[in-house]
Amino acid sequence: MGAKLAKSFLYILLPFLSWMPKTTAQSLRKDLLAGLTGAVVVLPQGIAFSTIAGLPVQYGLYTAMVTPIFAALFGSSLHLISGPTTAISIVVFSTVSQFAEPNSPAFIQATLTVTFLAGVYQLAFGLARLGVLVNFVSHTVVIGFTAGAAVLIATSQLQHVLGVDIPRGENFLGTWRYMLSHLDQINWQAGLIAVSAVVTIIGLKWWSSKIPHLLLGLIAGSVVCYWLQGQTSGVAMVGTIPAQLPPISMPELNLQIIRELAPPAFAIALLGLIEAVSISRAIAVKSHQRINGNQEFIGQGISNIAGSFFSSYAGSGSFTRSGINYASGAQSPLSAIFAAGFLMLIVLLVSPLTAYLPKAAMGGVILMVAFNLIDTHHIHKIFKISQSEKYILIVTFASTLFLHLEFAIYIGVLLSLVVFLARTSVPDMTVLAPDPEDGRRRMTDVDLLPLKQCPQLKIVRIDMSIYFGSLDNVRKRLAYIYETQGVRHILLIGTGINFIDMAGAEMLIEEQGKLKRLGGGLYFCRLKRQVYHFLDKSGLAHELGKKHFFQREIDAIGSVFYDLDEAKCATCQVRIFKECNQSPFKGD
C-alpha cells in the first residue's frame, strides 16, 4: 500500500514518468513529424505575438522554445502545446506598458517579473488543488474577452499596415481618432504589402489547411516589399533576430516591483489557466484522454516560472498549435519538446533573413490572427439563445476595449459569478404525487400529469443545493405551502440537493419549528450521503429530528401518515396512498 502511494505521489510530482515509458519507435516518428510541423507554424506566430506584446521579436520565439518543454513535462495533456498566445500577449502589453516604454530594457525586465509572478500564482493554485476554479469562468466571458482582444490587436497593427506613425500610449479610441485625422499620411506601399500577405494567407488556407499559410504570407509580403522597393519608400522592417538560443535572464524581485506587478500578474495567470485547461479539455474530447486540471495548473506555473529565467514572457496553451499537433498525429508530449528543438535549429539557421521582413507584412499576418480569434458562430448562438449570456458577452467585450484588460477579465468573471448565483438562488421545486396508473406508484411531477395530491402531505423535490444564496426562495416556497395552501406536513425529496450549508440548515430548522407549532413537520427523504453526513456531523440532523430522515418515499409516507389529522383523513376523497385504505381507524 505504501509503495502504491509513493508511486502515485511520484507521478504527480513528475507526471512525464507515466507516459514516457510508453514511447515506441512508431510513436517517436509521429511525434517528430508533428514537432517539425509545429515549429514551422510557430515561427511566424512567435514573431507576431512578441510584436503584439510590445517586445523585441526574438522574445516570442524564446517563449515558443522554453515554455512548451516545461508545460509538456509537468502538465497532464498529451497534445497541448504551450507558448506565446494572442490573448496573453495583448494583456502583457496592456499591463506592462503602464510601467515602462514598450521594447525598452525596463519593459522587458518588467515583463519577465510579471511572467514569474503569474507562474507562481498558477503553481500555487495547482498545488492547492484549485483546478476546479476555471469552471467558474464561463465560456461566454472567454469569447467576449477574446473578441475584444482581437479588435485591440487589429487596432494596434494599423500603424504598420498603413504606415502611419501613431504616438505611443494611445488607447483604442485615441488610435482610431488619430488615424482618421491623418489619412493623408498613409503609405500605399505598406498597404499593398499588408494586402498581399492577407490575400496569400486567405488563398492558401482555402486551398489547404495543412499549408503553413502564415509563414508563406510573410514571405509573399517580403517579396512584394522587395518588388516595390519598400525600404526606400519608408516601409519599416522587423530587423535581424539574434541567432542565439534563449539567454539566461533574471526577473526583478524587489518588494516594490512585486507589489506593483502582482495584480496584473494575477489576471495574466487566470487568463493563462483558462486558456490552457479549456484547450486541453477540448482536444481531450477527441483523443479520449482524461485531463487533470490541477496538474495542468502546475505545468503552466512551472513553465512560466522557468521561462522568466530564460528570456521568455508569459505563455499558455495555443488552440491553433495544439489542434495542428493533434491533427499531425502526435502521440505524446514529446511532440511539443521536438517542436521547441526544431524551432531552435530554425532560428539559428534563418535568423538573418528576418532583416528583409517588413512590418507591414507582419501586420497583415497579425490582422488574420486577430480575425480568426472572433468566434462568430458562438457569438451568434449566445445572442440567439440566452439574454443573460448576451449581456455578459457585451459587457466583457466593451470592458476589453475601454478598460485595462485585467479589469475586463475580472468584470467578466464577476458577471459570471453573479449570473451563476442568480440562477442557483432560485432552485427548481417540483411537486410530486404517486401515479396510480404505474404499478410501482412512482412519484411523478404533477405539472406533467394532473395527479391528485394529499391535502395534508405535500411531497416536493428540490433540484438545487440549499445554501445562503437560495435559502430565501426555498423559505418562500415552503411558507406558501403551509400558509396559503394550509398543508402542515412537507416531505422534501433530496436527490437533487448536492449540498446544504450552515445557513441553509438553520433555515430548515426554523421552518421545522414553524411547522411543528402548526401541528405538522418537515421530513427528508433520499438525501445524498455527503449531505446527510454534513447534517449529522454538525449536529443539525439532531436538531431537525433524526426520525424525520428516510431512505425511501414509502417509508417516509408510512411514518408521516400516522401523524396526519384523523378527522380530515376520514372525510378525504383523494386517498392517493396505500395507507389510506389499510388503516383500521382512518377509513370512511
- Domain extents in the chain: 7-17+24-420, 429-579
Q: Residue 508's pLDDT is what?
A: 92
Q: Are the C-beta atoms of residues 325 and 79 closer than 8 Å to each other?
A: yes
H helical segments located in 182-254: 188-207, 213-228
CB neighbours (10 Å) of residue 119?
28
Q: Residue 10's pLDDT is what?
A: 66
Q: pTM score, two decimals?
A: 0.70
CA distance readout (Å), 471 to 192, 259, 460, 483? 63, 40, 15, 18
Residue 186 has pLDDT above 50, yes or no: yes
Topology of domain 429-579, per CATH? Answer: Transcription Regulator spoIIAA (3.30.750)
Phi (first) and psi of residue 408, to 5 degrees: -60, -40
Q: What is the rounded average pLDDT for all residues in the chain?
A: 85
Q: Are the C-beta atoms of residues 458 and 431 closer than 8 Å to each other?
A: yes
Q: What is the pLDDT of residues 239-280, one digit of tens each?
A: 777 888 899 999 998 888 899 999 989 989 988 888 888 778
Q: What is the pLDDT of residues 450-459, one digit of tens each?
A: 888 889 999 9
Q: Residue 588's pLDDT is what?
A: 46
Residue 12 has pLDDT above 90, yes or no: no
Q: How far apart are CA 14 and CA 306, in angstroms?
A: 16
Q: Is 23 helix (H, G, I), strand (E, B) or coil?
A: coil
Q: Residue 8's pLDDT is what?
A: 61
Q: Residue 217's pLDDT is what?
A: 84
Q: How far apart are CA 81 and CA 38, in angstroms?
A: 9
Residue 464 has pLDDT above 80, yes or no: yes
Strand 489-493 to 521-525 pairing: parallel
Q: Which three cell numbers stand for residue 282?
A: 477540448
Taking residues 461-466, report their average pLDDT.
90
How far from each other are the two terminal CA atoms of the chain, in whole angstroms?
Answer: 66
Confidence of residue 587 (pLDDT cuts 50, 70, 90): very low
